[in-house]
A and B are shown apart, each in its own frame.
Chain A
Amino acid sequence: MTHLRRELFHAAWGKVLNNDFIHAYRHGMVVDCKDGVRRRIYPRIFTYSADYPEKYTMFASPSLTI
């Protein structure tokens, strides 16, 4: 069942990080920033915080293991 939760979670993230995001990640997207500079913006994910139950959902590890 933990496996199913993991599958569900990763499938959901697969939908969220869609093709538009992948394209922007590789090639950037041109944005007129609010400070007056037109930039080519590359989105990056730096941190991801989740609590312990979610962490073992993500990796499908049994609970109380690190």
Chain B
Amino acid sequence: MDVDVSEESSRSAAAQMFASAGFEMPKPASEEPVPTVHPPTTTRAGREVHATWKVRDQLPEAPGIAHDDDNRQPAPTEPSRGQRVRLLLTERIRTAANRFGLSRLYKRRPVLPPDTSIDLEAVYAPTAQQKTPKRSPRTIRQIIAPHPNLTSFLFNYHHWVSGSKKTMDNRDALQALLTHPEFNAVDLTGVNFRKVDAELASSTVDAPWARDGDGWKHESVTINVPPLGRPSLASQRAAAAEQRRAMRAEDIEVEPAATPLEGVPVTIPGLWYKDICVEIRRTLEEDDAAKAFIFDPHLLFHSRPGTDEPPEAVYCELFNSQAAVDADIRLGPLIPPDEPGCNLPKAIAMTMWWTDATHVTQFGNSKVWPGYMSYGNETKYTASRPSCHSTRQMVFFPSVRIFLLHDGFFLFIVVISLMARFKRPFGLVSAREPRLQS
């Protein structure tokens, strides 16, 4: 406690000194929370044992109060595409260091003031037991699909769950089914259960894109399979002209090849994706986590107290990175808005993507290739919690198997989709000229 008192007195002395010199000393962020001092315990040998750094209460703390350095300085100019030089003006707004010696540096005035208080209870509330709200509650019709009604669902459920032997429990279950208040034998007439089973087995019912309201779209992708044989004369001429054009920067006219697309187009189904704009809009407008999103990128610096060492950059989050700050400045929040009649603050939705092709079965070759998106505006401490559902499934790329078939005379390229729904060879394809091994 002695240490605290002396620190306090030295601080006030420094404040007086600054005040007499006409400066205002940046106040610490909060006067109230006195750091909990863990008294050193003494061992039997008389040695003092201090609590480790981790054990002491190191609560997260808000940044210090912002004060303006007020020296506007132009950032390095960068020539844009049309030989136009754009001067990017930046401000420097630095917050005072908090107790950890961390200060923020904004290159422009933040739209929202930095959060001056942190709700510790909310940060530390255990989330493992919390029930997360379902994003899109399903209706009963969606749950029992592809069964046309509840009776047929109960009937089919009983059929598949009861097992292959007749047991007493089985009889009880049948009795419970037939006396179920929702059971109406009339509903069973005309239901084709073999077709329902086939639909269930095709596993498209539980697919993520089968949920309504999530905005999944399906498209087919067309790619161009090049011919296996020698290129035609027209395409050779076009390629040679292209090469000369690149070498000598000449503009050579050449008559276009007879078929503009060389090779054979193959259409491959199985691309499922969500519209990125729709998903971003939905997240920012509806997701509770978006309340804490950070739209003012800033740099983070750490300066060791009591030393003259220059502050050290801290790499922590995406919105602390130089890339984020640069992109934000390049957006030009400081220059007048370029959208006519729009005075809204500009901000970046920073997206981070990852993809990983996965085998979905232990045996067999079914494969999916999902792509995920998460937000760099969200602090990583929130985003990494599984219960926050902060990573979005955005894309399923068509996963295919491509191989060559050789029938002794012709060489074929075969494209097979590995997605269960499209599991048939739809690829073709092409052998314009036989390529024979001698």
From A4, A12, A33, A44, contact of B351 by CB (8 A): A44
**Chain B residues with Cβ under 8 A from A15's Cβ?**
219, 221, 271, 273
Closest A residue by C-beta to B354: A49
Closest B residue by C-beta to A27: B339
**Chain B residues with Cβ under 8 A from A3's Cβ?**
226
Contact flags B312-354 to A (C-beta < 8 A → 1, else 0):
0000001000011001000100000101001011111111111
Contact, CB under 8 Å: A34 / B286: yes
B65 interface contact, C-beta 8 A: no
Total A-B contacts with CB atoms under 8 angstroms apart: 154
A2 to chain B, nearest CB (A): 9
Contact, CB under 8 Å: B353 / A39: no
Contact flags B261-284 to A (C-beta < 8 A → 1, else 0):
000000010010101110011001
Known A5-B402, A21-B276; judge A31-B324 contact (CB<8 A): no
Known A29-B281, A35-B293; judge A46-B415 contact (CB<8 A): no
B2 interface contact, C-beta 8 A: no
How many residues of chain A are within 8 Å of chain B by beta carbon?
42
Contact flags A3-31 to B (C-beta < 8 A → 1, else 0):
11101110110011110110010011111
B66 interface contact, C-beta 8 A: no
B355 to chain A, nearest CB (A): 5
Contact, CB under 8 Å: A8 / B223: yes
Contact, CB under 8 Å: A46 / B402: no
| CA distance in complex: A33, B355 (Å) | 28
| CA distance in complex: A27, B284 (Å) | 18
Contact, CB under 8 Å: A20 / B277: yes
Contact, CB under 8 Å: A34 / B277: no
Contact, CB under 8 Å: A33 / B277: no
Interchain residue pairs with CB less than 8 A apart (11): A4-B402, A11-B222, A15-B271, A18-B276, A32-B284, A34-B287, A35-B112, A35-B290, A41-B284, A41-B347, A43-B348
Chain B residues packing against A (C-beta within 8 Å):
111-112, 219, 221-226, 268, 271, 273, 275-277, 280-281, 284-288, 290-293, 295, 318, 323-324, 327, 331, 337, 339, 342, 344-357, 371, 376, 394-395, 397-398, 400, 402-404, 413, 415
Q: Which 4 A/B pairs are nearest by Cβ-Cβ distance? A: A49-B354, A34-B290, A7-B223, A47-B352
Chain A residues packing against B (C-beta within 8 Å):
1, 3-5, 7-9, 11-12, 15-18, 20-21, 24, 27-35, 37-51, 53-54
